[in-house]
């Protein structure tokens, strides 16, 4: 069951410039853009998909493109539920990307729910 759920997540997120498939056996495989599947799901996926990846062992602090961990991606893409899941799972809330931006720098003040999640975590 777990493998089929992972394969469904990977199928929904088949976005890679080289058309190289994600590897269900290696959840931390990084593509040409240096992102792993958890980065894509943190940005664009559902909270359920993100929880499934975390439960399956995906690294929550893996740095991807421009040095962002999945939490930074969730915050930058205004995904409060995904940010909350990552924080609860122990994501590094003090991490910064290659430009020195933290979750406080990336949070959109217009997204009240996300602001609350971020400010409670730091």
pLDDT of 33-92, one tens digit each? 788 989 999 999 999 999 999 999 999 999 998 999 999 999 999 999 999 999 999 999
For the segment 85-109, the average pLDDT, to the nearest whole number, is 93
**pLDDT band at residue 119 under the 50/70/90 scheme:** confident
Listed by start position, the domains of the chain span: 2-121
Does the structure show a pLDDT above 60 at 17?
no
More confident position, 83 or 12: 83
More confident position, 18 or 119: 119
CATH H-level, domain 2-121: superfamily? Ankyrin repeat-containing domain (1.25.40.20)
Note the pLDDT of residue 15.
53
**pLDDT band at residue 1 under the 50/70/90 scheme:** very low
26 closest CA partner among 71, 63, 56: 56
Task: Provide the whole-model pTM.
Answer: 0.84
Note the pLDDT of residue 14.
67
């Amino acid at each position: 069951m777990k493998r089929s759920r992972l394969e469904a997540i990977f199928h929904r997120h088949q976005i890679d410039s080289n058309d190289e498939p994600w590897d269900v056996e290696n959840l931390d495989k990084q593509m040409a853009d240096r992102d792993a599947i958890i980065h894509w799901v943190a940005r664009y996926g559902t909270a359920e998909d993100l929880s499934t990846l975390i439960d399956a062992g995906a690294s929550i602090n893996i740095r991807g493109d421009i040095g962002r961990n999945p939490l930074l991606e969730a915050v930058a893409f205004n995904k409060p539920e995904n940010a909350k899941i990552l924080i609860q799972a122990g994501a590094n809330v003090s991490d910064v990307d290659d430009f020195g931006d933290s979750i406080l720098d990336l949070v959109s003040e217009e997204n009240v729910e996300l602001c609350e999640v971020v400010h409670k975590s730091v």
